[in-house]
Amino acid sequence: MTSWSITEIPVPATLDDPGAEVLRAYLDVRNAVIEESWGVDDFHRSLPDELGGLHDQTYVRKLRFMVGPEGGDPWGYLAMNLPLQDNTHQATFDMGVLRAHQGQGVGSALHDRALQVAREAGRTTVIASSDQQVEPPEGPTTLSPSTGSGRVDTEDRGVRFALKRGWELAQVERYSVLDVPIDPAVLAAHRAAAQERAGDDYRMVSWGTHCPDEWLDEYAKLNTRMSTDVPLGDLDFKEDVWDPARIRTTEAQFAERGWELVVTAAEHVPTRTLAAYTVLLVFPHTDRYVAQEDTLVIREHRGRRLGMLVKAANLELLARERPTVRRVGTWNAEENSFMLDINIALGFRPAGGSGEWQLRLT
């Protein structure tokens, strides 16, 4: 039997440093594992992208590992994030093993390393995900979280792995894909109907990766509210505070990674505050796919169709500024019926999902 070990990935200063080749090997196996699972390269990361993310560890400590034989190609990967400002009781991780090397204890070793790192960092809650291509119909081999929304298949390899090790299913998320461009008339009709419901008290403001100074404080508040105003199931998340400095630090990280944003927010004109926002994330490795990231209507302004309004306006902006994009992917908690209804009305179709798992460390 071939011997193998787990290697922590160094963070090189530049792509010309010797350590960059180790990071490249990690990234190659990470991309390969995820493409095996999903059959697309939408979720790939490039080397400059990954390195730019690792360089910024102001608010999150980021650790990367790969597993495999010495001197050979890696078989699997482990990515760990440890919050440093808020939610410091928590660790999150993502791991995977190439199919050809599963069943040899490699995944178990990566899992054990993740828990070891979490314990050494003083974390008491660990969160991870298991992907699924299709949400299973209700039946004797399915499991739902306490919210009652969504299901995973207990015969799925990843689900069995989690249950065997004492993890609890805290939430189920749906992955949806929208084929774009949408017929401009259809999109305009959605926007007009939403604007009519919202009324003249709300107007759209948009920007790219760099938030205008005039909206910086409000944008930080929206990012903070994103951690408290969305459905979280049983996940042990506390408020995650954003301020202008964190916004600017994150923008600098995005610039190094080659990420770009398309942002639309709803200004509440009487108070000159932001009531809702939505963010599309553009990656450097593809001009065909973008990710629908945060969408939030803060509680005080709900019931006015602002969610549809900002999303329709942002998709119109995307069509003008990124005409080569053909797919938009997004994740939503299965219990988030309001946002799912908006997505369905816009034409998003179910394309898989995930189980969100939680483990309490003692």
Residues 251-276: tens digit of each pLDDT: 999 999 999 999 999 999 999 999 99
Dihedral sign from CA coordinates of 115, 118, 120, 123: negative
Question: For 315-331, how does the pLDDT look when each residue is reduced to its tens digit (9 = 90+)?
Answer: 999 999 999 999 999 99
**Residues sharing a CB contact under 8 Å with residue 361, sequence separation 6 or more, in sequence order:** 115, 118, 119, 123, 124, 125, 126
Question: For 46-74, how does the pLDDT look when each residue is reduced to its tens digit (9 = 90+)?
Answer: 999 999 999 999 999 999 999 999 989 99
Q: Is the pLDDT of residue 309 over 80?
A: yes
* Mean pLDDT, range 157-175, rounded to an integer: 98
Q: Is the pLDDT of residue 162 over 90?
A: yes
The CA distance from 250 to 184, in Å, is 33
Of the pLDDT bands very low, low, confident and very high (cuts 50, 70, 90), residue 196 is very high
Of the pLDDT bands very low, low, confident and very high (cuts 50, 70, 90), residue 19 is confident
pLDDT above 90 covers what percent of the chain? 98
Mean pLDDT of the chain: 97
> Among 126, 64, 116, which Cα is nearest to 91's?
126
Question: For 90-107, how does the pLDDT look when each residue is reduced to its tens digit (9 = 90+)?
Answer: 999 999 999 999 999 999
pLDDT at 18: 84
The CA distance from 48 to 254, in Å, is 11
Provide the residue type at 50 as one letter. Answer: E
The CA distance from 12 to 28, in Å, is 16
Q: What are phi and psi of 326, to 5 degrees?
A: -120, -15
Q: Is the pLDDT of residue 312 over 80?
A: yes
* Mean pLDDT, range 327-351, rounded to an integer: 97
* Mean pLDDT, range 179-186, rounded to an integer: 97
pLDDT at 362: 81
pLDDT at 237: 95
The pTM (predicted TM-score) of the whole model is: 0.96
Q: Is the pLDDT of residue 1 over 80?
A: no
* Mean pLDDT, range 289-306, rounded to an integer: 97
